[in-house]
Amino acid sequence: MLKLENINLYYDGIHALKDVSLEVPEGKVISLIGSNGAGKTSTLRTISGLSKPKSGKITFKDQDLLKVAPEKLVNMGIVQVPEGRRVFAPMSVYENLELGAYLRKDKDGIEKDLQRVFKRFPRLDERRKQMAGTLSGGEQQMLAMGRALMSGPKVLLLDEPSMGLAPILVREIFDIISELNQLGITILLVEQNAKMALSIADYAYVLETGKIVLEGKGEDLAESDEIQKAYLGG
């Protein structure tokens, strides 16, 4: 459904993505793992149109994404939960969720999704009026995901959703990701937490200094020596 072919991205001379190719088939969970500075965030930024690659191709259902304005991608169902949550801190939880539905006009659908988000994340319901910036890290992650769900995503790009969370919350976040996938949302998951990311992935890619160095089925990669050594401390 979503396909990257030979993407090359530069930041003022730094070659951040080197011939990156990957594929995200409909209905699957695809994980992209790698250590700090590997280029995971850059990959997602490129898909979302926030960074412009020098060369390469990105297609979504055969449509050339590099020709689409970044803010229009949401309409097509490509929605990102960025690294570090990036909630709108000086705005309320409710307003953050409303902004998720910014492009939608179907009032009833929005209301229904809002109720669904509140049901899935009761903590957000209790804190509707609270400023997003005063939420805890875990709550902010839930808000960021809830906000993304309000856009009605077909593909959800998640950038390190487990970052900085306590193990129990990490579990919960991953459960939610699986749940969303079962609801039919395709997932591209970026993680440093390789173990968790591989455990729920149908297929995974490993990124190292801007290059895809390894790819395979989630369970196969989890067992491979390279991964064991580099990411799983085995």
Ligand X SMILES: Nc1ncnc2c1ncn2[C@@H]1O[C@H](COP(=O)(O)OP(=O)(O)OP(=O)(O)O)[C@@H](O)[C@H]1O
Which residues contact ligand X (rule: CB under 6 A)? 11, 14, 16, 34, 36-42, 83, 192
- Shorter beta-carbon distance to ligand X: residue 97 or 190: 190
Strand bridging mode 211-217 / 203-208: antiparallel
Q: How far is the CB of 59 from ligand X (least distance, A)?
A: 21
Q: Rounded to whole angstroms, how far apart are CA atoms 205 and 223?
A: 14
Q: Rounded to whole angstroms, how far apart are CA atoms 98 and 71?
A: 16
- Shorter beta-carbon distance to ligand X: residue 11 or 102: 11
Decide if residue 43 touches other proteins (CB under 8 A).
no
- Binding to other proteins (CB under 8 A): which residues in 127-186? 147, 151
Q: Rounded to whole angstroms, how far apart are CA atoms 97 and 144?
A: 8
Residue from 95, 172, 208, 223 touching other proteins (CB under 8 A): that is 95
- Binding to Mg ion (CB under 5 A): which residues in 31-90? 40-41, 83
Q: Which stretch binds other proteins (CB under 8 A): 22-30, 93-101, 181-189, 210-218?
A: 93-101
| Residue 9 DSSP class | E
| 152, HSE (Cβ side, Cα atoms, 13 Å) | 14
What totals of helices (H) and strands (E) does the chain contain, helices first? 10, 10
Q: How far is the CB of 157 from Mg ion (least distance, A)?
A: 12
Torsion angle in degrees (nearest 10) through CA of 44, 163, 188, 69: -30
Residue from 70, 202, 214, 232 touching other proteins (CB under 8 A): that is 70
The CA radius of gyration of the chain, in Å to the nearest whole number, is 17
- Shorter beta-carbon distance to other proteins: residue 66 or 89: 89
Lookup: tokens for 175? 């459960």
Residues that bind other proteins (CB under 8 A): 48-50, 69-75, 79-80, 82, 86-91, 95, 98-100, 102-103, 147, 151
